[in-house]
Structure 1
Amino acid sequence: MKSRSPLVNRIAIVVCAVVLTSIVSMTTTLAVSKSIEGNATAINLAGALRMGAFRLLSHVASPGVSNNGGNNIRNLASQYELSLKDNNITRAIPLTEDHPLATQYRYITAYWQQTLRPALQNHAQGEPISLDMLAATEHYAGSVNQLVSMLEQRTEARIDLLHLIQIISMVFSILIIIALFVDLRDRVLKPLRKLVNIATAVGEQDFSRKANLKGSDELAQLGSAFDQMSSELALTYYELEERVRNKTEELEKSHSALQLLHAASRNLFANHDLCSGAVPMLQELEQLLGIGPIRLYLHDKESTEPVQVVTTSSTERPFYCRDHHCHACLVTPEVYDELPTEEHDGRRLLLPIRTPGNLLGTLEVWYPADKGLSDTARRLLETLSDQLATAIFLERQITEEQQLTLAEERTVIARELHDSLAQSLSYLKMQVARLRRLNIDGEQKNAHEAILDELSTGLNSAYRQLRELLATFRLKLDTPDLVTALRKTIEEFSGRLGKPVKLEFNLPPQTLSPNEEIHTLQIVREGLANAVKHADATEIFVEVVFESPQVKVKIRDNGKGLPEGGQPLNHYGLIIIQDRARTLGGQVAVQNHDQGGVEVGLTFVPKSRHLIPTETSGT
């Protein structure tokens, strides 16, 4: 069974003390009053015994009493003895034999029976009272008087005891009441006042006040509960304030990030440049969300692994960088070492860059392991990945449409060239052949032959270039990218040379626009055609490489080289190569190689604004 609480125990103790004091006071008062009950009657009767003794003495000394006085004295003595042994007197005498009052009463009774009564009964009626009898009577009266005094003293002592008991009870009651008030003040009123103040302060969002109540009673426990509640409320309030502050900051960050994403979305779709459009936006997003670095990987059919196209932090200029005046992604090694990575207590989040049914790439986001990544930041990054997917998909779609449109246009041009210019050239060649069959004699024969030779050479060169153009157009129509077209071109000229033509290709995918790919392919074909037809070469080497920010193309053979004039007579291929190089905004150099043969070198910076990944495809 559960014991009562300390406060209830104290109240019960106080109540019990008051009740017990009252009971003790009433009991002792009742007992004392009971003990002195009849003492007044006993005192009156005892006082009457003195006068009765002198009456008997006067009676026996009185001469006017009849002869029957002996009987009268006996009767009076018997009546007097009855008064001496009256119950009112005996009840006032203690039952304890050794009590002074009982001893005095026994002495008086014995003195009456043994001395005074016999003397009175034996005294002759009417005779003068002897001195001895008078002395005996006075002695008896003095003993009775002493008994009365003792009864009075005993009664007064009992009354004093009753007064003392009343005073003690009153003092004890007052002390209990004072203790009760002090206890109520110290352990009830003050704690309650503290608790009310704490409750008021909590209502005013002041959690600093504490009750600090000592003890184990209910109010102390309630004070401890209030203190704990106040501490927990303060912690909860501060946690809620912190959460509200964090949520506010997160919402502000989200708002800023959404504005940033909106602006970045317009930039991505406006300038069609993922690097210049995404890197500044990603860096601002890193500062807002406290994350980074961020890297973007895209999937390419010419690479077995995803290739990196964008990074926000790099200690060295990326391989795919085409603008060497830009330092957007370059940071110092000290800054890079502080970024969260696997080596620097970081965690990685991978988000797919996808469109329905097509995985385009992956967005890699690093963030501090101790801070984590909030749900809001994750949703923002997911939104960013969706925007990047849309931008990349649209850019690729635009590129494919441009390639398809260009291919269709070149197909139309090829058909028109074949149906018009090719037939016209064929007709002119036939006319030159007819002129050769004419017999022209005289001094103009040599001049006519020279003119015919020049016409034949020009027509053959124009016809060959037309065939190269037609072949290039048809080749590009059937191939999706530059590397595939180059490989087919290498296979074609390897067959024409009779030996394999070597190819080194490390141009990143989608480096060039469709127009730049066409010009690059035609320059390579023109260089191969010259090497196969004019150089008498046994080995030909083609190199197409990317040395950021330039694309370098080399066609080198081990043939007889260029004549001293620098260009063969009646040969317009090098002029066409130079025109195409100027179209690309680059430079071309045609010169003899130190080890023999000719080297055609083309250098230009791509002007297209497309995705350029870091890794290259195989040759």
Structure 2
Amino acid sequence: MKLPPTLTARLVATGTGLLLLALVSISLTLWVTWNMQGGAAAVNEAGRMRMQTYRLALVLHTTGNGDEARALARGFEESLALLEGGDPSRPLFVPWSPPSRARFTAVRTRWQALRARWLDGTPDPDLVQESAGFVALVDGLVAAIEAQISRWTTVLQMFQLALVGLAITSAVLMFYSGYVFVLRPLAGLKKGLAAVQSGELRTRVEVDSGDEFGELAAGFNDMTRTLQSLYLDLEEKVREKTRRVEHERQRLADLYEVSAFVAEAPTLDALARGFAGHVRRIARADACAVRLRAEDPRRFVLVAHELLPDDLAAANACIESGACHCGEVTVQSQTRVIPIASAERPTLGYCVRAGFTTVVSVPVRIHERLLGEVNLFYRGPVDLSNEDRDLLDALASHFASALASQRAAALEREAAVAEERGLLARELHDSIAQALLFMKIQVGLLRQAAQRGDHAAAERGIAELETGVRDCYADVRELLLHFRTRTSEQDIEPALRTTLQKFEHQTGLPARLSMQGHGVPLAPDVQVQVLHILQEALSNVRKHARARHVELRVQPAPHWRFEVHDDGAGFDPQRPGADATRVGLRIMQERALRIGARVQVHSAPGAGCTLVLELPATGPAAMPAPAAQALA
């Protein structure tokens, strides 16, 4: 008979398998990276061919030096040979694909034809045009190589995602292996030990493996059999005590389970449905209905039910107070047991036809305010003890608190959505709307020029429209990037670095962050406004400054101070006008007013520009009444 593997062997086998998968994934990633490095070197070499072509054309066009031209031609041919054969030591090799192979063949064929003409010593009047066309072929080769590198980049990203998935899968598998091989047997032993500690000496643990835990379970069973034989005369007392303890434990577990559920329920519908199921199971009812008070306090709406017949649920979707036993609850009402069949006054009769004989009404209230009721239906008589009533009242109280929390959360979400919509409206109005208005004016001018037949004016209008479209598209991308920016509750530095990285990616300009000292962390809402002001300042630099360098200086103490400095063209702050720069400055000033801050601009033509944002020394101050009225 083959012996089952030990626990150690199982864990080692699982870990080894995961390690092999990780090594294979890492090897594939390194291989793709190697191909990308070779492709990048090939792009550089192809770009060198373009430079050699320009130099050869320049030599032939100016001096006609045959020796220098032949040296340049040999260098070009060496580059062709290097691209075709590759150089693994660098590494350098072309990631061949049908487009790149075809473009390389076209370049080599065209070079052979041009070389014979350019180096035969005869002046070529079409040298400039031919060299430009040949450079275009080289550019096509570079583009084909870059396209293949892009595909390799996509493959690398897929491998990286696969590595992430592998890491997650490995963690889950390790957790699962630990649960199956260790935690579950250990939980069985722990459960058995708990049962023995509570007096259940008949407890036996299932031996379902031959590993160390199986041996431990077998020893545990031997121990419980010995204890049972020793304490057989105390078995009845232990059983009674166990029942009482189990009853109390079950009550506490039910209360904890419902409390945890109502605290985590995502929606009102999920809360009501889940609560109905939990209460019906705990109360051992045949059906359960949860009703909430409508806007009209005399009506109760059925929001969820469990095992209630469909016709009964449809007929009782909304009942008026006094029409039936359900809906007669008030703020002062207590949990009641109502015998339906023996009721003296007439009812709607739906419960009787459904076979129910008893209904338990549990009021749902909070802070002396009635929210609804929970109805438990039984097909037999019910006798509730005081403990059962207390448990049902406690469950209803937790449900009422969850309802109040759901409503408060809904109000908060509504307020947050309204605020976010207002923010979006302001951003769109201050950026994209102005660009669209500009394009609308240009369209009108273009139509007038077309009607007059003024082609020059029409061309200028088209150019202005193209500029407006580019600016509008840039504003949209900038808004998307800005709204994706997230702040830290502890430190604003990571968000600032992210903002500068996005600026460098958009403009290609170097941007440096300089922070001096440490200060009190900013509140999240203040961080958001500060980031938007700095982003608007960087946007103005990108659009108007024509700068070469940008620096963001941050001084946290004694109070927060932010400076955005550029070495661009600058402007005169006193010059009247309402261009896009001043619109951006107005937006920044409005945002600064909301957090009690101050924005200043220092600039002069040809001397760059410095924007200063200063926050109050003790945090955001209360907004002055005139400023609040102006923003409103």
Same fold (TM over 0.5): no
TM tier relative to shorter chain: 0.3 to 0.5
The one of the two structures with greater contact order (alpha-carbon pairs below 8 A, sep at least 6) is: 1
Instruction: With the length of structure 1 as denominator, give the TM-score of the two structures.
Output: 0.32
Q: Which structure's CA Rg is the greater one?
A: 1
Instruction: With the length of structure 2 as denominator, give the TM-score of the two structures.
Output: 0.32
